[in-house]
Every structure is written in structure tokens, then in C-alpha cells.
Amino acid sequence: MSDSGFDLSGKVAVVTGASRGIGEAIAVRLAKAGADLVIASRKTEGLDETAATIEALGRKALIVPTNTSNKDQVYALINKSIETFGGIDILVNNAATNPHYGPLLESEDSHWEKTIQVNLQGYFWAIKASVPSMQKRGGGKIINVASIAGLHSLAWQGLYGITKAGVIHMTMTLGNELGASNIQVNAIAPGFIKTKMSSVLWQNEGLANKMIAQTPAGRIGDTEDIAGVALFLASSASNYITGQTLVADGGITNVYTS
């Protein structure tokens, strides 16, 4: 590696929601840095392609289909990771859902239950299952993918934003509680990134142009913009950072607050 501070050789990383989008990009970026990967998503579609890319880089890839709204499946994912590789060094909680796009008062109980289970409880279960292994290995890195919707109210994304605000607070709390174990817990808050989940936004030309006009970077982000931040948080370069949320949004939240 050109910079040993970003070398993940010998590390084992678990990435949820790794079949496409941000999760796939993060998994591949960590593999390029030398990590072996456990990749998970609710559906196996896409995981084979992600695994093939990782293995082409000379790293190992274990596929574990997982519905992160199911506690037993989350624990099975972590246990399988430990059984296969001997432990976990890096956990990236990325799997997410957004079943309700519209006014918050029009959301239904089923929307709340599903969004909380996947976006918040699923993250917590994965962390709780992974921490004992990290403690045995002398430390670890936990990266929670949040959203700028957890920092600011965004139109029609109230329920999603509520869960992402919860992720940010959970990150702060666990950053404090796990610091003594040399486990750094941080979050990434992406802005508008071109993924399948956000297609309702960027495929609307009028809305996309409005977002681009409001973004100082002058563009919608791509998944590699987030993968680079994840590599930093997964590496020893971030050892003195914990309980923080790094915003990667092209500067648009500066516009919201100015």
C-alpha cells in the first residue's frame, strides 16, 4: 500500500446492504485496501457480482444473505463471519429501507415498524453481536451509514429521517461507551447520492436540477464519494475519531444552515 495508514491487510470487514449502491462500493473499496469481506443483503441478487469483484482483487468474500429486520438472521450473519474468519475487525451497517415517501402524518404503523427494524434495530443488533469479537481482537471499527435526512428535515422523508437521526445518536452513545475497548464508532451522513433507493429524486429532472443548483459541488454524489469516507473510518488513520458523524454531501447542508 502507498500509505500504511489506510492498509487493511489482515482485517475482516462485514458490510450489510452490499449487493449494490453504497454498500457495494464500500465493500470493494475495503477489499482494495486489503480486507477480506463478509457481504450481506436481503436478496442474493447482486451479491455474487460483488463477491466476484472482491475475489478478483485477491481478497476473500463470504456471502451471507441476511434480512437485517430479523434479529436471528443478523446474529447468524455475525456468528458465521466469526466462524469463517476467526473474528471481525470492521462492521459497516449500511442496509436500509424507506417504505414511506410522503407526508409524515400519512405514514402507517407498518411503515414505522419496518423502517425502525431495518434502519435502527438492525444496526444495533449487528453491533451488539460484533463487539465481543472486536474486544477479543483488541479493538475495531464500526461505521453506521446515516443520512443528511437525520440532520435536517427533508420533504417527504420524515420517517426515514427519524430513523437516521436515531442512528446518529446511537453512534454518539456507543462511541462514548466503547472508547475504552479501542472500538471507534462513527457514522457517515451522505447527501444526495445516485443509488437505486434515491432514484425517485435524481430521475426527476426538475428535482435533480434543483438539487444540483443548491449543491456547492455542483453535482449529485456517487457511491465512490462515500466509499472513500468509509475507508478512512475503517483505517488506523481515524483512530482518534469516535462518536462522530462525517457529512459527505457536496456542501448542501451548508446551504440549509446559512
Q: How many CA atoms lie within 13 A of 257 on its CB side?
A: 7
The residue from 101, 123, 160, 256 that is catalytic is: 160
At residue 59, φ and ψ (nearest 5 deg) are -110, 165
- Give the relative orientation of helices 21-32 and 223-234 as an angle to the nearest 10 degrees: 50
- What three-state secondary structure class fits 188? strand
C-beta of residue 46 within 8 angstroms of C-beta of residue 25 = no
What's the rounded Cα separation, in Å, for the pair 59 and 118?
Answer: 28
Confirm whether 160 is a catalytic residue: yes
In the beta sheet, which residues pair with residue 216?
Answer: none
Q: How far apart are CA 135 and CA 80, in angstroms?
A: 18
Collapse the DSSP code of 150 into the 3-class scheme (helix H, G, I; strand E, B; otherwise coil) and give the result: helix
Task: Give the burial class of 65: count Cβ atoms within 10 A of its Cβ; 0-12 exposed, 13-18 middle, 19 or more buried.
Answer: middle
- CA–CA distance, 69 with 188 (Å, rounded to integer): 21
Give every CB contact of residue 254 below 8 A, 6+ residues apart in sequence: 216
Distance, CA of 247 to CA of 255 (rounded, Å): 13
Name the β-bridge partners of 248: 190
SS3 at position 43? coil
Residues forming the active site: 160
